[in-house]
Amino acid sequence: MGRFTVIGAGALGTLFAVRLSEAGHEVEIVVRRAVRKAEIEAAGLRLIDAVSGSEGKSDRVVITAFPRVRLWGEKEAFGGKDGSGPHFILLAVKQSAITGELGLELGRRMASSAWMVCLQNGIGHQETLAAHVPAERLLSAVTTEGAMISAAGEAVHTGSGMTWVGAAGEERAEVSEIAQKNLVFWLQLAGFSASMSKNISSRIWQKLLINAVINPLTALLRVPNGELLSLLGAGELMRALYEEGIALARALDIQLEPDLWEQLLEVCRRTANNRSSMLQDITAGRLTEIDAITGGLLREADRSGIALPTHLTIYRLIKAAEARHRP
């Protein structure tokens, strides 16, 4: 079976750690506070998940897992010795936690047989990490799974989705091909829909363009995702953000599926009652992922000499809202 270190016991980290543990994989989870470590050791990590019940109805079940818990500050390496098989480090922290310091620490502690799998929305984190972690050991994952923290040590699986895995530096994809196959197989054994992607940067950009439309608008307008479809004036703003994003992707030669606009509208419909992660962050007074989403687009546009006026305005509004709501 697979061996996993999940860094971050938040929404996505809990989903992956519980499902992988349940499937019999060897899982450890890394948290940054001693109190959280003690809580998980005592009560386990809980996932509230939907399972198929009788007559096609789905029931809610609580799955509890007791992975090994480690503190971020401990110096022990992540992953086994060479020759002991692949070990995957699932990095499930927010973009705002991915600093040069974190990258340096990961680079120091990552065993040479380990693979780092980045689950973040947005862009920019891979460059930060690649300065410290061997670039060929970095894998990217794009996931449309949905999860939300409901209590300490507990997450709700809000929606099943798809997880794509690929080499962060696509030109070196063959180095990690066997590891990617293992990862996909082990994720599937844990009940995830997963697949390898030969063009992971397209997947990353497609999710990025969707997040760059839905997340900041829902956070500024304080509405669930579905309301963007009916709110007066929101449709024009969505389209303007989308068109600017598409023009940038074209200039950067990034392949996008032709029905991406339809996919974006479908995400709004499918997650109609969800409050986007950015809306949740703003209301809770936390830093948002704006610098990796809209900020990521603006940095790329700047390098290419392209203007994204609507994104720039939205970026400034979110930064102002962040400053206003931070404690």
CB of 23 to ligand KPL, least distance (A): 25
- As given in the structure block, the two tokens for residue 66 are 């007791």
Residue 209 contact among ligand NDP, ligand KPL, none, beta carbon within 5 to 8 Å by kind:
none
SS3 37: helix
Nearer to ligand NDP, 36 or 172 (CB): 36
- Interface contacts to ligand KPL, rule CB under 6 A: 121, 210-211, 214-215, 225, 267, 271, 274, 276-277
* Partner whose footprint covers residue 213, from ligand NDP, ligand KPL, none (CB < 5 to 8 Å by kind): none
Smaller CB separation from ligand NDP, 143 or 180: 143
Host H or E run for residue 200: helix 200-221
Sequence-ordered list of residues with C-beta below 8 angstroms from that of 195, at least 6 positions apart, any chain: 162, 163, 164, 165, 184
- Give 174's DSSP letter: G
Distance CA 221, CA 228 (A): 9
Smaller CB separation from ligand KPL, 144 or 195: 144
Which of ligand KPL, ligand NDP, none is residue 94 near (CB under 5 to 8 Å by kind)? ligand NDP
Q: How far is CA 41 from the centre of its chain?
A: 25
95 binds, among ligand KPL, ligand NDP, none (CB under 5 to 8 A by kind): ligand NDP
- Three-state DSSP class for 271? coil
Report in angstroms how near the CB of residue 201 gets to ligand KPL at its nearest.
18
Question: What interhelical angle do 234-251 and 260-270 show, nearest 10?
Answer: 140
Nearer to ligand NDP, 289 or 322 (CB): 289
Q: Do 273 and 305 contact (CB within 8 A), yes or no?
A: no
Smallest distance, ligand NDP to C-beta of residue 84, A? 23
- Which residue of this chain has its Cβ atom nearest to ligand NDP in the complex? 10
Q: Which residues form the interface with ligand NDP (CB under 6 A)?
A: 7-13, 30-33, 72, 92-95, 97, 102, 119-121, 143, 145-147, 149, 277, 289
Q: Are 156 and 48 in contact (CB under 8 A)?
A: yes
